[in-house]
A and B are shown apart, each in its own frame.
Chain A
Amino acid sequence: MKAQPPTEKDVTPQEVYLKRRALLKAVGIGVISMGLGGLLSQVKSSDTVGIKAGGSDEFGNPVNPMNHATGFTNYYDVSVDKRRVQELAQRIRTDEWTLSVGGAVHKPITYNLDDIAKKFPSRQEICRMRCVEAWSVVLPWDGFPLGDLLNASEPMGSAKFVRFESKLDPTQFVGQLNKAYPWPYFEALRMDEAMHPLCMMAVGMYGQPLPKVNGAPIRLVVPWKYGFKSAKAVIKIELTEEQPQTFWNVTNPAAYGFWANVNPDVHHPNWSQASEYRLGFKEKIPTLLFNGYGHQVAHMYKGMDLRALY
């Protein structure tokens, strides 16, 4: 049982930290977007002594530096190669984005990003994100509860599930040229999961608009499930009566189930899920059931065999 004591390099002197933040704001994520690109992203992603966001989760785990989130990302819509995702993601255009909420609702609505910003004020939530590949990261998201978005469309009583679809455009999301996968990306939650206050739509992180590599302009965040449930670049939300299919379950059903709750006792066929690496650390830490959010979410799975329904 190894905890994660903050190491020497986690402590950034206040003035350095403030200077870095100021610098970051001045330079802006825009510079990276405009694609000084490759080289800059290389330097950033290979430097673990990054910009500190400050803060910690409810267990006291420090928030990871932002370059961990941008430099080590699974985003198969862009590339299967984590080292290339940041560079290739810069082709994504987030202007003129729309997000529609439809299906089994009384009021189908299509939003643009301004509508969303006005109607659903964001607040910061620090969450753990556990990847199915046995690594994790602590992130400060800016977002709002998914339930608020769904309620605005007045779900019908018959709605049992919520389906999410990501944008399909292989000219921007070049990973979608890879025909081994059933694009566009699609995910789903049961209604009660979707309405849970921990479940949110994120529009930013680290106090900035969501970086392209992390699912700009708007994405789902489900902190107690493996990262692949948290669909990026969402354009369509549909309420359904039947359980929808999900991207990874269709691709490899033996390894990836519909539920995908973080569970240290249910292993991936190829590797153990009992422990994980927190990005920036060299020691493994035990993985927690429901990623440590059990006291808030376990009641939704009472009576369910989590081994069978993985």
Chain B
Amino acid sequence: MSSLQNPSKLYWTLLAHSLCLTPLTKLIWDSALHRLGPHPVHTLTHQTGFWSLTFLLLSLAVSPVRSLTGFNWVFVWRRSFGLYAFLYASLHLAVFLIFESGPGLFQELFGRRYTLAGTASFLLLLPLAVTSTKEWKRRLKKRWGLLHKLVFPATALAILHFVWLVKWDIQEPLKFAVIFAALLVFRSPWGRQAIKRLRPRAAKTAKRDG
């Protein structure tokens, strides 16, 4: 609501959301113009998967960024990034269900390790998306934070899903794995110590708020 009272903030918010929706807009645009390339289903699958993982990592980066910089306003983006990750993951799954549908669908969803990891990751994200509202946060109290720790196994499974589907070269999934590992290090006791030393005041502020 505060963004409505502050026009400049509203513009920035709208701009940021437009950026988050740009990959989707581009896919719809390219789809309408038959510009998805020689293998349209591959493009749709890869792009939606890529952006889902990217937004998952962005949502995980919010807390460390706040601790490091002391900018509390970044915190509202944790939820948005998480929901965008879920949006792209849903589209990713939808593309799979639409184009892979057939007699072997069940086998394809659960019978192969890469799809099993992907499906599991999606099922873990589902309750997080449902309980992302303030209402649910209030209702679940302390359990809300515990529940939302599921984002860590969900991200790990999503990266594993990527590792298991490539032919052999794991360069691209490895980039996501490295960033994920770095974000986990930030959260470790060692990482928290380092942040405290780097920005003693910011860390204190973050601790008080969190």
Contact = CB atoms under 8 A, between A and B. Distances in A.
B-side interface size class: 20 to 34
B39 A277 contact: yes
A212 B149 CA distance: 50
Contacts of A76: 169
A271 B38 contact: no
A293 B112 CA distance: 29
A198 B40 CA distance: 30
Contacts of B114: 270-271
B104 A68 contact: no
Interface stretch (B9-17, B126-134, B160-168): B160-168
A80 interface: yes
B34 A49 contact: yes
Contacts of A178: 169
Interface string A169-203: 00000000010100000000000000000000000
Most buried by A among B30, B100, B112: B112
A271 B41 contact: no
A47 B35 CA distance: 5
A252 B41 contact: no
A148 interface: no
Contacts of B165: 270-271
A133 B99 contact: no
B36 interface: yes
A97 to B, nearest CB: 28
A284 B37 contact: no
A37 interface: no
A280 B37 CA distance: 8
A189 B102 CA distance: 36
A76 B40 CA distance: 22
Given A251-B168, A284-B102, A272 B41 contact: no
Interface residues of A, number: 35
A271 B112 contact: yes
Contacts of B36: 46, 48
A135 B168 CA distance: 17
Nearest to A64: B38
Contacts of B30: 46
B209 to A, nearest CB: 42
Contact of B35 (A48, A132, A133): A48
B201 interface: no
Interface in A266-296: 270-272, 274-275, 277, 279-280, 282-284
Nearest to B171: A80
A308 B30 CA distance: 43
B46 to A, nearest CB: 10
B100 A280 contact: no
A272 B106 CA distance: 13
Contacts of A180: 169
Contacts of A251: 168
B37 A282 contact: no
Contacts of B41: 277, 282
14 contacts: A45-B38, A46-B30, A72-B38, A74-B167, A137-B38, A252-B168, A255-B168, A270-B113, A271-B165, A277-B41, A277-B42, A279-B39, A280-B38, A282-B99
Interface of A: 9, 45-49, 64, 67-68, 71-72, 74, 76, 80, 132-133, 135, 137, 178, 180, 248, 251-252, 255, 270-272, 274-275, 277, 279-280, 282-284
Given A49-B34, A133-B167, A248-B168, 8 more contacts: A9-B34, A46-B37, A48-B35, A48-B36, A272-B112, A274-B104, A279-B38, A282-B41
